[in-house]
């Protein structure tokens, strides 16, 4: 894995997202209310607008433009008008640094395994 530091834990407030760009890939780095960090493609699959400007609640992010919701775990579109998923990227936390590999997408099983290792 070629993970690149995109933030520190201190830079990510609960229920907020931060837009970063790594290797030309726009990524929303999100901290949910429980403190879990996610990295998801930063473009809504419906409106081509930044998801990092959206609203974070539980394990979802809502697009500010048209209200489509996406799972932070899987990237799945959970509500219309979006129906296509967005990518979810592997996140590693090391010594307070948040690292993301923009070329490694994950599925929910991998994310749950990663979360268990960090606990």
What is the per-residue pLDDT across 63-104, written as a single tens digit (0 to 9) for each? Answer: 999 999 999 999 999 999 999 999 999 999 999 999 999 988
Radius of gyration of the CA atoms of the chain, in A:
13
CATH of the domain at 81: 2.102.10.10
pLDDT tens-place string over residues 6-32? 999 999 999 999 999 998 999 999 999
Look at the chain and report how many structural domains it folds into. Answer: 1
Q: Which domain holds residue 68?
A: 4-118
**pTM flag (> 0.95):** no
């Amino acid at each position: 894995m070629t993970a690149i530091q995109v933030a520190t834990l201190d830079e990510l407030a609960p229920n907020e997202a931060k837009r970063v760009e790594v290797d030309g890939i726009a990524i929303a780095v999100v901290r949910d209310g429980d403190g879990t960090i996610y990295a998801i493609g930063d473009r809504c699959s419906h409106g081509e607008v930044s998801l990092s400007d959206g609203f974070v609640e539980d394990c979802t992010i809502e697009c500010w433009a048209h209200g489509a919701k996406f799972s932070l775990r899987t990237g799945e579109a959970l509500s219309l008008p979006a129906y296509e998923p967005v990518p979810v990227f592997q996140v590693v936390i090391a010594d307070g640094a948040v690292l993301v590999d923009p070329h490694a997408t994950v599925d929910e099983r991998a994310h749950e395994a990663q979360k268990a290792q960090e606990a």
